[in-house]
Structure 1
């Protein structure tokens, strides 16, 4: 990784090691080679081979899912979850204004129109009151996001969807392993789309999966990901959304290391919580109300000027935090003229977006790294709030 000179960052000769915001698990080379060897021996490289089937079965158990189907990416999972709803072309899909780009891009690629609703100020997830205000005669679906490891208000959103007859698909790309009141997060709604991108706790390099609530929906999804084919005949819409055997091999090779990675992330979260929980001027972003601790991100919030100072100080210490999840609509976006529908006097999302900072969060962050990160943050805060 290189750092352009125009960033103004000059490293001392005896600099500390670089700590990145994400660092994917790496498989044991021999284990991965053996799995790839199976694919070579059988000559089966795609189209739902043995490795694909084994990973699908393993993930079904891990996710506590009734039905789970692998696809080629997290974005493809979103598209499949929407397409399962049989929505009319051009239908409106209500989604939060604050999320990763894939959420809105998936809606548009499916031929639907995203309608951006505001977020709740505490959870930063889709606000049910804003959803209710955004419903029109053209609304066909809701696509909420379990954002930064914090679950949506699934009860309120589920009630709105039922009362208005709307398809409810969740973007759970950041929610692998998350539970709510003891239940896996994927049980909510009509479908939930998960990511297996390399930035996630378990990954296949690129990949994803969709959790559905029955065999019929699963069968339809398998047709959708395979060109709409049934017994070799194209009977409906579809695309090439299959996960390859090489991707499945990577996921299977990482499965034996997953428990240790989860434990490392849980320990890191505890370290951050202890070191940063009482620092004035920052708020640790957490779930509540029966939600388990997340495994994908560790986020805090601070006023924009303070966040900028913290981000710069961390970068100068060779610590790469992530300082943005930009708005999906408004100036400088694909939808510059589209408003945010809110239940408040002013939308919350534009105020919150400049406050979020994601710290390095993965099993390669050592305890001393976490302590150094916390020390830098405490120093920056103290400099702005002298005793």
Structure 2
């Protein structure tokens, strides 16, 4: 094992994928600033971004917003609401703004437990449905599609329950070789800093219902459109022209980025599958989850389930010290339902110990440097003797 190569390999990694299209972004941003048309209504970039997203997803339309959190709140504000109390089933693992948006819309979130692929399946969702359930939010987590999407969508359609897809982390992920975000009434994407399309902050909603699209555009701040009769005022959730100008080159580069990430992702999956400490590795075929293959992911992450939360914590600390980007859902993580303040506890218990999971971001890295990167990850995953005894 070449320790010198391990030490220097991270100097050549590209973790912030948005920098790969920096020249094209700056060219567009310069045009926006020079024109003075900084707002969504006055310019052309927001409209172009919305059209590109809708075309990418084969959806009728899309609405670009200031953040994905704003997008979800806007969507929920524009859905028809009953006079009786409504319940919305949300996943145990998702960003904290999801339950917040549900609560702000006047509805009650009910939490469906995560499984080994970080998402609930139909078996976790069905027991939570009752006459007050009007919607289910399904998150495609960590660059992978939620594997039970087809069944969940079909079962909810039969019951007249709305499905919303949280695609914040799923740019480039696919189901049946088509982009995720096509199965629900609407899909919400994020362009936050760490996404494959990254603008610092930003979001977009894609849908097919023309009335819903009109309502969201009007309620979200387009003063040229009349508000729907049942609207409770108009806000300002619009994306800026500069943000859209930054997003467009990245969206165009998305397929190329996936292909750049795929070789190292595949090598990392293969390497981790041969590490004794790894109980399972994602993306792979996991039990009854046929849509978790590497071809369906966006290439940016490799997840691993470890024997104990203590081992996962130690590995996360080692990766942090080495400068390897990763995610460990440890104590206090705002992706976990147990850490959401003011969220009702009307939920079933967790099906897995999420503190035993972590994932590793796949950087853009020249192929000759791959072995050193893989060795760095492998060394961090080794079990200590005392951990081997308790695993």
Q: Report the TM-score, using the length of structure 1 for normalisation.
A: 0.82
Does the aligned pair in 2 maintain the 1:146–1:170 contact within 8 Å?
yes
Which of the residues 18, 38, 59 maps onto 1:45? 38
Taking a change above 3 Å as real, the CA distance of residues 300 and 189 of structure 1, as seen in their structure-2 partners, is: same
Q: Distance in 2 between matches of 1:180 and 1:253?
A: 24
Query: Which runs of structure 2 are paired with 1:69-148 in the superposition (5 Å)?
Result: 69-88=63-82, 90-119=85-114, 121-148=115-142
Instruction: Pick which of 234-243 and 193-202 moved more.
Output: 234-243
The 8 Å contact of residues 50 and 64 in structure 2, kept in 1 or not, is answered as yes
What are the residue-to-residue correspondences of 1:155-170 with 2, within 5 Å? 155-170=150-165
Distance 1:65 1:340 in 2: 33
In the other structure, the counterpart of 2:347 is 340
Alignment RMSD (CA, Å): 3.1
Do the aligned partners of 1:280 and 1:381 also contact (CA within 8 Å) in 2? Answer: no
- Select which of 194, 202, 213 maps to 1:199: 194
Q: Displacement, 1:244?
A: 0.2
Question: In 1, Cα distance between the equivalents of 2:107 and 2:15?
Answer: 32
Is 1:56 the counterpart of 2:50? The answer is yes
Deviating beyond 6 angstroms after TM superposition, the runs of 4 or more aligned structure 1 residues are: none
Question: Using a 3 Å threshold, how does the CA distance of structure 1 residues 297 and 224 change in structure 2: closer, same or farther?
Answer: farther
- Within 1, Cα distance between the matches of 2:160 and 2:117? 25
The partner residue of 1:226 within 221, 224, 235 is 221
In the alignment, which residue of structure 2 is the partner of 1:373?
376
**Cα 1:22–1:230 shift into 2, 3 Å:** same
Task: Tell me how many residue pairs correspond in the alignment.
Answer: 365
In the TM superposition, what are the counterparts of 1:294-333 in structure 2 within 5 Å?
Answer: 294-295=297-298, 296-302=300-306, 303-324=308-329, 326=333, 328-330=336-338, 333=340
Distance 1:164 1:293, change over 3 A: closer
Q: Which of 225, 250, 253 does residue 254 from structure 1 map onto?
A: 250
Q: Deviations over 1:269-308 (max 9, x none)?
A: 1121121122223111226424543224322111212212
Structure 1 residue runs of 5 or longer lacking an equivalent are: 1-11
Give the match's secondary structure for 1:243. coil
Q: Counterpart of 1:358? A: 359
Q: Secondary structure at the match of 1:141?
A: strand
Aligned equivalents of 1:328 and 1:378: distance in 2?
24
Tell me the residue number matched to 1:286. Answer: 283
CA distance in 2 between partners of 1:233 and 1:313 (Å): 53
**Distance in 2 of aligned mates of 1:381 and 1:203:** 38
Maintained 8 Å contact 2:164/2:187: yes
Q: Evaluate the alpha carbon distance shift between residue 383 and residue 139 of structure 1 in structure 2; reply closer, same or farther with a 3 A threshold.
A: same
Verify the 8 A CA contact 1:323 1:356 in the aligned structure 2: yes
Distance 1:233-1:336 versus aligned 2 partners, 3 A rule: closer
Whole-angstrom distance in 2 between the partners of 1:312 and 1:36: 38
Give the deviation of 1:324 after TM superposition.
1.1
| Structure 1 stretch displaced more, 315-324 or 303-312 | 315-324
CA 1:99/1:369 → structure 2, altered by over 3 Å: closer, same or farther?
A: farther
For residues 55-101 of structure 1, the C-alpha deviation after alignment (integer angstroms, 9 at most, x for no partner) is 22222333333322222111122223333431347521111122221
Structure 1 residue corresponding to 2:261, chosen from 242, 265, 276: 265
Local SS of the residue matching 1:95: strand
Deviations 1:158-200 (A, max 9, x none): 2332233222111111111221122321110111111111211
Change (3 A) 1:284 1:381: farther
Query: Structure 1 residues 86, 114: CA separation in 2 closer, same or farther (over 3 Å shift)?
Result: same
The answer to whether residue 19 in structure 2 is matched with residue 26 in structure 1 is: yes
- Structure 2 gaps of 5+ residues are none
